[in-house]
Amino acid sequence: MAGFDNTPPASEFHRHSSWGRTRRPKNVNGASSTTVASPATAYSTENQRFLHVQCCGTATVTLIEVYYHGSGKWSKLQMNDGSGGLSDAAVGAGDTAIFEIAGADKVRFTQGVGDQAGTNSVWLLHSTF
């Protein structure tokens, strides 16, 4: 028959845009080479399990907070301090830390030292593994 072929129209192809499993950490800004724009900005977790916080140079993170749509509230992310207690999640200068955030819908952080675009900056990345 004339005018028919087995190729579906372009609108029929499904394209994954995100929100899938990611083995390699991906930048919360979406671009692989941009730092976090502003510590006050809330970043969607895209249902990822881990938050990687990388402080370059003298940059530090003094507080990380998580948000849940179910409660509509922000709260401090706590981590095991090694002696059976909990302490606020923080990252020191030149350090990288990985936090489990499974279930959190958004994250934000408070930057102690550093800038948002220079050598002393903070990077936030997500991964599922």
- Mean pLDDT in residue range 6-14: 65
Kindly report, residue by residue over 21-37, the tens digit of the pLDDT.
667 888 887 766 666 65
Kindly report, residue by residue over 48-106, the tens digit of the pLDDT.
999 999 998 898 999 999 999 999 999 999 999 889 999 999 999 999 999 999 989 99
Whole-number pLDDT of residue 2: 62
Q: Write out the two tokens for 108.
A: 């934000």
114 vs 103, residue with greater confidence: 103
Q: Which domains does the chain have, with CATH numbers?
A: 20-127 (2.60.120)
Which residues on adjacent β-strands are paired with residue 87? 79
Whole-number pLDDT of residue 123: 87
Burial class from Cβ neighbours inside 10 Å (0-12, 13-18, 19+) for residue 42 reads middle
Q: CA–CA separation, 112 vs 13, rounded Å? A: 46
CB atoms within 10 A of CB 94: 13
Whole-number pLDDT of residue 118: 72
CA angle 28–29–30, rounded 5-degree value: 90
16 vs 94, residue with greater confidence: 94
CB–CB of 56/94 below 8 Å? Answer: yes
Q: CA–CA separation, 99 vs 67, rounded Å? A: 15
What pTM was computed for the model?
Answer: 0.76
Amino acid at the residue 70: G
